[in-house]
Amino acid sequence: MDTLPEPAISLPRQRGPVTVRLGGLDDDLDVLNEGNLLWWGQDFMAERIRSSPPEDPWMILVGEVDDEPVGYAFVLGKGVMAGGYAMGDVYVAPRGRGRGVGRALVEAVTEATRSYRLPGFLVSTPEQDATSQSVASRWGFQVVARHRESVLDLDTMDLGAASGAVERAGSAGFRLEPLPDDADGQLWRRVYELNKRTWKDAPDADGATDDMPYSVFRGYFPHPSYVFLAWLDGEPVGSTSLMDRTKDEALNTMFTGVLPEARGHGLAAGLKAGHALFMREQGHHRIYTQNMEGNLPILTANDRLGFRVDSGFVDLALAVPER
């Protein structure tokens, strides 16, 4: 699908000199997000929209001043974030700042979130952007999480450490391997169900009320080998997965999860190490990952494998009480 569902609020809307209108893939979202360190590109956004079920309540908003597009916002009206909050994004290009565009977009996303009957929405900002965090605080946003972004250089990684992590998992009885090239729909569904079960235990999903649709999950992976599984007694008990990070010509971890009954054997580290070694053999060079501060098991696994901290971002949540 190339178009979004009907908007949840009345548009266009005016706030002083700012017009907020419904946006879409016909807008140049890359220009609107110029300078946005957290923007992955219009092509990435388009793929997520096209893989979404028709009933999913996605909405893109554009903020204009004197008919010039200078701001972007996005909201997914489902409780996919911690606390059952909606997923959101608000960004104003440098040329449009100081003119009320951000405030107008936040108000529109707030109204949309209320119409979806969700308790609030969550956005992220680079950790070094103190100005945006200060403004968001004045508008009522609360810091709910901090993440570190790390990168593993596959060309210079410690092959001994990675192989050791894989061997440790193997000695505990787990079989680690990529999803086979001929994976059928039934196997993909098993991977999806495993991902749903393990995601519920992730700190980022604490209190989430909605799952990622299967079509969206499947759309992240251009090839089965982007998923790496741990098997025990014929059942998948852990997985790690990657997606393309085209803006950096690299890979990015989507998620790593292990069922509770399979934990305590270094399986997360083994999965990440095995996948890194496999992707290195396929000619890839870097893997990025984002993890919540305080998530010690996965941060420890990353450190052991040689991931180095590259940057960070802050999650900001705005509660939206019912009227």
> What tens digit of pLDDT does each residue of 39-56 get?
999 999 999 999 999 999
Coarse DSSP helix, strand, coil percentages of the chain, rounded to the nearest 5 percent? 35, 30, 35
**Rounded to two decimals, what is the model's pTM?**
0.94
Matching CATH number, 13-140, of 3.40.50.1980, 3.10.129.10, 3.40.50.920, 3.40.630.30 = 3.40.630.30
> Which residues make up the CATH 3.40.630.30 domain(s) of the chain?
13-140, 149-312
Inform me whether the pLDDT recorded for 193 exceeds 70: yes
| CATH class of the domain comprising 149-312 | alpha beta
Phi, psi of 87 (to 5 degrees): -85, 130
pLDDT recorded at residue 3: 53
**Average pLDDT value for the chain:** 95
Give buried/exposed letters for 87-112 (b at 16+ CB in 10 A, else e): bbbbbbbeebeebbbbbbbbbbbbbb
102 and 62 in contact (C-beta within 8 Å)? no
**Residue type for 65, please?**
V
- Helix orientation angle between 267-281 and 159-171, rounded to the nearest 10 degrees: 130
> Is the pLDDT score of 1 beyond 50?
no
State yes or no: pLDDT of 82 exceeds 70.
yes
68-77 pLDDT, tens digit each: 999 999 999 9
